[in-house]
Chains A and B, each alone.
Chain A
Amino acid sequence: MRDTAVSRFARVPPVSLFAMTTDELETLLAQQPVALLHRLARGRVHRHFRAGKRRLIELLLQHSSQNRAGLESDLQTLIGERHSQSESGSSSVHHLPAITPKKASPRGTEPESAETAISLSGWLEGLGVPSPQPFVPDSWQNEALSALNETDVVISVPTGSGKTYVAVEAARRAMEDNRTVIYTSPLKALSNTKYTEFSRIFGPDTVGILTGDRQENGQAPLLIMTTEILRNLLYDAASGEIDVRLDTLGLVILDESQYLADPERGVVWEETIIFCPSQARLLLLSASIGNPQDIADWLTSIRSTVCRLVRHSKRTVPLRAGYLHPNGKLTPLFRTLGIPYGHPTHLHPETKRLFLEYEEETLPSGRPRR
């Protein structure tokens, strides 16, 4: 089947490709393995991975009514690529038509660049345990802490950057000032972990935890609770029934603030922020999100001080991505050592080949697996 497709190409000169009849195009598409169709469909067909082969072809044809040339040229590129991969170097490559994907394919797959891809050993290099270093706060951590003296702060940094250090230091400073601190997390399980961690750092008498039916050390200067519990406290305070000393409250730390976007519970973060007493500083800790400036601007618009945004998107420990084939073969996922930000298609050629093989084998009849 593969051969038919190729020899068909061998006979048809490239120019006439852009003048295929719909029937011809359909036949050619039908001859391709479904994995190739999926690749062709990326960016063209919404949720293509759910469609079967028949349906995919239909959708591709429908789409091509708008950009026929683009589709045909991408198809040609993919067929050529497949062919040169499966018989790399062999003579049959020569009778393939010249492929010029850049010209006619607006979102075709990336051409293999001349630069060589990273090797596995290169990719694994540097793995290991760093020698112990004295603890020096990062500049963003210092920036956040000094900003907190004056204003509310929103922090949006990648997971694992060290938000806890800022929370702990900020809490320490507030308590040294004889102010109380509330720290909230979205999950009871996380509250428990933090309770243990903070008790270890500040001593068990300094830290308390509140749940709906229980208080442990409820009068401690540093209280841990879920955001829902704090919201309830704030409502009680607003209607004059105070349970916990909110007048001395100096700092409210909302961890995992990206929960603001949770469909069911996000509203609780909004209520908490809206009703947070104005004399208390707000510290929002969030994983990387797309619009942290919006959050900071929002806080500025409703609070008495100008909220400061501290953000960065660079991971402290660099990340490398790999691909592990079911047969146990490990390859780098991308062509570069690090993550090629902004270039999702810069796949390692070896990985590309292995994954293509995998898709073909697991989707033999074009039947979607879901």
Chain B
Amino acid sequence: MPPSIHPVDLITALRQKHLTPAIVFLTSRRACDEAMETFDHADLVLPPARQEAIAVALERITVQHPSIAEHPLIPLVRRIGIAAHHAGHLPSWKIAIEELMRQGHLDAVFATTTLAAGVDFPARTVVITQSSIRKSRDFTDLTIGEVQQIAGRAGRRGKDHVGFAIVTPSPYIDLAVLTKGLTGQPEAINSQFTISYPMVLNLLKAHPHEQIQGILAKSFAQFQLNQRAELLEQKLDALHVQMEPFGPRVCTDWITQWHTFDHARRHRHMRHQTHRSESPEISARLPFLTPGRVVGLGRGRGIVLRQYRSKGQKNSMLTVLRPDSAVTECPVTGVKEVYDRTYDCAETPTYPWCSTDTFDRLSHQLEELPSHVPVLPILVSLGIEPLPDAIVQSLGDFPCPTCPSRPACQKDFATASRLRQEQQRHTKSIQALRTSLWHRFQERVEVLQQFGYLTPATQLTIDGEWARLIRIDHSLLITELIRAEAFTGADPSLLAGVLASLAHDDDRPGAFPRISPGLSSLLGQVRKLAESLSPYEDPPLLRADVAALVERWVADPTLTWIGLCRLTTMAEGDIYRLLARTLEFLSQVQTLKVTHPGLAESASQAITLIRRGVLEELP
């Protein structure tokens, strides 16, 4: 049996059961195109009347969108009444297919799941062939919301009594994900609020610094953080009640007192052994080597499962989860790097020192860890010395040994101390939840002050005044380039080329035209600056090849769309999107008319030059 159904068989089955029109969601654009190709020789030809109807409808659409007139797929679509619809196509072609579908001329459309949200046409049936989709570089399971978004295309109001969602298996499918998706409640959505440099500049342009905290408090992010804080506050209230029996005794803060006493007592006991204790560097790390922490070892990385002391060992020991779910023991001195990343870890008292669920999850998280994880900076303080001798010696003077409430304290200490720790933890968390946005805002403010976009009094500087108009990704890099006069004298094609390389965030490989020496050296400059800014802003991909493509399009007005497409292996739809994104970036630069008239003029020329042919058709 083939791993998945043949497209021709699929369509035949759907037609036979009157389940058309259908949208067939496939994993990739290539899958869609290949599915179309299988019809080349199939003998599934529409009756002449329907073919004619498609031709007429297409002609009507061509009036508005001339670029589809010669589209190479037209004969096939007309012959079989089936089309593909994905991001590799020009928007005008997609509009044409959507229109044909809406008018009921097509029996099926092959589309990619990634675009389920952008597919704005319904059908009687949707066919689902996968349970995961590519998000950035990884495959993730479809969420319930996504499955329902896909299934939502099935069943046209007024045209269908019922709609059908048909699952057909492929090696990529996990049926459980789909059945859960079809029968479940969609997930709650969460805020993804981030504070960008232009946001800070625009806020400070319109509002005094002291009002900003109030504005950030209006975000959905803060609303959700408050919800969490309120939950913790309820827990905190409950803890207060639980703490009641442990109020003041002979001394007000008997918990701390007992803690110190207890610690000193034990410490005295172990005093002669403290010689084996680690160097300050190592002991400064110890508090961070807690379960769930990602560390770098001599070979590869791992996740700490527990930290312990073993009798025969000079140093503290770690149990570490390694790739392939291996569990190893190593001394803390074997840790080469402590990374700024921890995962939740439900600890257990026995091997493998965490719950099975945690273990599985950590194994996967370790496998999927990005190749670069930031290192945690650790302050080495030489002050964390063992308890001073003076205290240990004065232990005899401690009130505890003779205190009347000593037995009660001894009995209650464990519980009381745990409750108090919880209280402190919650209090800290609540504080963090309430103020984290504000802190992030302040961090951004400091960077902007450092670069001279804001005065120490958080007013916009002259540069800040225009920089706030650049409200796109990589805004800091762009404004820094403008300040460094990198674009001075650059003609429209160079400017467009550089902005294209900033705007393009897809790393799909392809073959491209040669780059001009001028653009090449300018890109070198951009790359250097981007690297130096990397602590403050993620650097862009800066692909020279896409820059060259856009440069050609702007520099050579005689170049036709077909000619442009021939220069590269990129799909038409991708080229279109690249140019459209570049237009977006250019249009922001164009707003700097007052402060940078030359640059703005260059941008507006580039816009005019880009806007031709296919790019003229849509607003």
Contacts and interface: CB of A to CB of B under 8 A. Distances in A.
Contacts of B191: 260-261, 266, 270
B471 interface: yes
A188 B580 contact: yes
Interface stretch (A40-48, A81-89, A141-149): A40-48
Interface stretch (A6-14, A93-101, A168-176, A333-341): A333-341
A159 interface: yes
Interface string A120-155: 000010111110110000000000000000000000
Contact of A297 (B1, B155, B223, B580): B223
A212 B583 contact: yes
Contact of A189 (B91, B180, B182): B91
A355 interface: yes
Interface string A311-334: 001011111111111111010011
Interface string B358-401: 01110010000000000000000000000000000000000000
A358 to B, nearest CB: 5
A242 interface: no
Contacts of B508: none
B88 to A, nearest CB: 14
A186 B149 CA distance: 15
Contacts of B94: 189
A320 B5 contact: no
A271 interface: yes
A298 B224 CA distance: 9
A66 B611 CA distance: 65
A261 B193 CA distance: 9
Nearest to A240: B206
A66 B139 CA distance: 31
Given A159-B152, A290-B187, A290-B188, A328 B176 contact: no
Contact of B587 (A193, A213, A313, A362): A213
A245 interface: no
B166 A322 contact: yes
A294 B202 contact: no
Given A130-B161, A235-B202, A339-B182, A318 B155 contact: yes
Interface in A241-292: 256, 258, 260-264, 266-267, 270-271, 273-274, 287-291
A252 B9 CA distance: 47
Interface stretch (B213-221, B267-275, B414-422, B478-486): B213-221
Nearest to A50: B364
Contacts of B611: 213-214
Given A160-B122, A347-B179, A362-B3, A317 B157 contact: yes
A326 to B, nearest CB: 5
A294 B224 contact: yes
A193 B95 contact: yes
Interface string A225-238: 00010011001001
Interface residues of A, number: 104
A195 B587 CA distance: 21
B584 interface: yes
B154 A290 contact: no
A270 B355 CA distance: 38
Interface stretch (A18-26, A56-64, A72-80): A56-64
A161 B122 CA distance: 11
Contacts of B199: 267, 271
A370 B118 CA distance: 27
B172 interface: yes
A369 B121 CA distance: 33
Given A239-B202, A239-B206, A315-B155, A328 B193 contact: no
Nearest to B167: A323
A190 B19 CA distance: 27
Nearest to B152: A159
Contacts of A205: none
A211 B619 contact: yes
B169 A320 contact: no
B47 interface: no
Nearest to A120: B17
A172 to B, nearest CB: 20
A344 interface: yes
Contacts of A290: 145, 185-189
A317 B164 CA distance: 10
Given A326-B4, A343-B183, A261 B189 contact: yes
A219 interface: no
Contacts of B185: 290, 313
B163 A324 contact: no
A299 B383 CA distance: 50
A313 B19 CA distance: 24
Contact of B145 (A264, A288, A340): A288
B162 A127 contact: yes
Contact of A59 (B9, B12, B166, B360): B360
B221 A270 contact: yes
Contact of A295 (B95, B220, B583): B220
A301 interface: yes
Contact of A212 (B18, B584, B618): B584
A349 to B, nearest CB: 14
Given A260-B189, A262-B192, A330 B17 contact: yes
A84 to B, nearest CB: 21
Nearest to B585: A212
B167 A130 contact: no
A216 B118 contact: no
A53 to B, nearest CB: 15
Given A50-B364, A127-B160, A274-B219, 15 more contacts: A63-B356, A130-B161, A159-B152, A187-B117, A213-B583, A238-B202, A260-B192, A288-B145, A317-B161, A320-B162, A320-B164, A323-B168, A325-B168, A330-B13, A333-B167
Interface of B: 1-5, 9-10, 12-13, 17-19, 91, 94-95, 98, 117-118, 120, 122, 124, 127, 139, 145, 148-149, 151-169, 171-172, 174-176, 179-180, 182-194, 196, 199, 202, 205-207, 215, 218-221, 223-224, 227, 325, 352, 355-357, 359-361, 364, 468, 471, 580, 583-584, 586-588, 590, 607, 611, 618-619
5 A-B pairs closest in CB distance? A159-B152, A317-B155, A212-B587, A266-B192, A290-B188
29 contacts: A55-B325, A62-B360, A127-B160, A128-B18, A130-B160, A160-B156, A161-B157, A192-B91, A195-B619, A213-B590, A213-B611, A214-B611, A238-B205, A240-B206, A267-B192, A274-B218, A287-B145, A289-B145, A290-B185, A290-B186, A295-B220, A297-B223, A319-B182, A320-B163, A324-B13, A324-B168, A325-B5, A340-B183, A358-B169
